[in-house]
Amino acid sequence: MTTRSTTRFATSRYRTGIHALGSALLFALAVNHRVVAKYALMDHQGATLGHALVNAIVVFSGLWLGSLGLGAWPVPHRGRWRALAAVWVALSMGATVLWGIPSLNALIDAHKGLQVEADVVLYMMGAISGVAWRTLLGREWAWFGLLLSPSSLLMGMAGTLCAASWKETWPAAIWRPDVVLFAVLLGVTHLTYRRRFQDEAAPGALCERRAFGSTARFLMGLVLLYVVMGPVAYLAETRSFTAYVLQMLTMTTILPWLLVFSLPGGIFEALFRIAWIRTLASVLVRPVIALVVYTGLVTATLIPAVLQALLTYNWLHIFASVIEFVAAVCFWWPLCSSVPRFPSLSRGRQLFYLAYASNFMMPIIVYLFLSTTPWYPIYTRYDAVSALADQQMGSVVMLGVMYVVYGGLAIRIYSVQDESIWYA
């Protein structure tokens, strides 16, 4: 073994040890007797979201061990193992919501033995999920599971426990501490990995400016994400259709540009080296499919029965928002892709793409505006007349934002046109 390989092996073992130690310390902090006493008191007062926060931290510590704390331990990557890993991730993310049920929390709080067992089970589920993420994404991207699994768990608990959370006992819950935690995790991850994927071909000063601009846009997107998933989401779920429209439009027309397309192209190149992601993207970013899926999803969520279900079940609202965000990323991809594998459209075709997209959205906007009765019962609990006005205002906001965004992009595309606009 050469000196270089020996040094590399020692460095890898050192990093593995640091990750394993960090996982153990975080788990010990989460199950500390003072923390347990604090959330047990909150459970007794009916504020169960504090217990959900601790559960998410326990899961995160297990994920940390499984995804990053195993070093070069071999992980199978065959199709059967990947399918099993995907099933495990989905089932574990769904099953952990059970740990936020108030009656179950009360039972665990009353029996110290059950507390220890529940914490160990959650930790082991997180560790196995970390291994599953490594199987799905490889060691290079396994850290992504550190974000997705505990964040979806926490926000799912927050939605499931909405009626029995700390919203009644702690008014600041309107400001969604789970979304704050998710935004902080995303921000730390971006700052940690940005230099790894930034453009190495650019000169030093130019590269630094690009990295600074990318980071600034990403952090601005995190602030906006918190606003629309916190206070605005609360208004959307209880009082205002216009607030729902603003949330939906922000998630689909602004955040994709700030959170996704501000990232260095190297991140997308690395992601598309994963076979199943590359196969999925090759279908979803096709212009026709992306256009139909995005406009179809947005229109479907405005159907009264669908929107009523989204606003009644907070976890379903979160899930729909994530799906809409992914569909929006695919929708905007043909306009701004910097990845040669999946290139953007020519400038002329981009103009046609935007024109068709605006036409696809017009029917639902017109129906909302011309309706003489409120569509959504959840907003009529206070005043049916104001609910109708709010519905019409929401349709006007949707139309205005759509034409400002689409029109601004079209003007920008056309302003740099030349004789090749329709061909290249």
Q: Residue 233 gets which letter from DSSP?
A: H
pLDDT mean over 143-165:
58
How sure is the predictor about 230, in pLDDT bands with cuts at 50, 70 and 90?
confident
pTM (2 d.p.): 0.73
Q: At 86, is the pLDDT very low, low, confident or very high (cuts 50, 70, 90)?
A: confident
Written as six digits, the tokens of 201 are 């071909």
Please determine, for residue 168, whether its predicted confidence score (pLDDT) is greater than 60. Answer: no
Greater confidence (265 vs 222) lies with: 222
Contacts by 209-213, CB closer than 8 A, 24 or more apart: 211/264, 213/262
Express as a percent the part of the chain with pLDDT over 90: 5
Rounded to an integer, what distance in angstroms lies between the CA atom of residue 109 and that of residue 196?
44
294 C-beta neighbours (distance < 10 Å), count: 23
**pLDDT over threshold 60, residue 141:** yes
The angle subtended at Cα 189 by Cα 183 and Cα 195, nearest 5°, is 135
At position 139, the amino acid (one-letter code) is: R
Q: What DSSP designation does 263 have? A: S
Encode pLDDT of 380-397 as tens digits.
Answer: 766 555 878 888 888 898
The whole-number average pLDDT for the span 406-413 is 84
Give pLDDT, residue 166: 42
More confident residue, 361 or 204: 361
Residue type, 233: A
Whether the pLDDT of residue 135 is over 80: the answer is no
Higher-pLDDT residue of 22 and 96 is: 22
Tokens encoding 58: 């326990």
Amino acid 291: pLDDT? 92
Higher pLDDT, 196 or 314: 314
Look at residues 129, 134, 136, 163 and name the one whose alpha carbon lies nearest to residue 56.
Answer: 129
Q: What is the model's pLDDT at position 105?
A: 64
Report the percentage of the chain scoring pLDDT > 70: 68
Q: Which amino acid is at 37?
A: A
Confidence of residue 167 (pLDDT cuts 50, 70, 90): very low
Q: How confident is the model at residue 310 (pLDDT cuts 50, 70, 90)?
A: confident
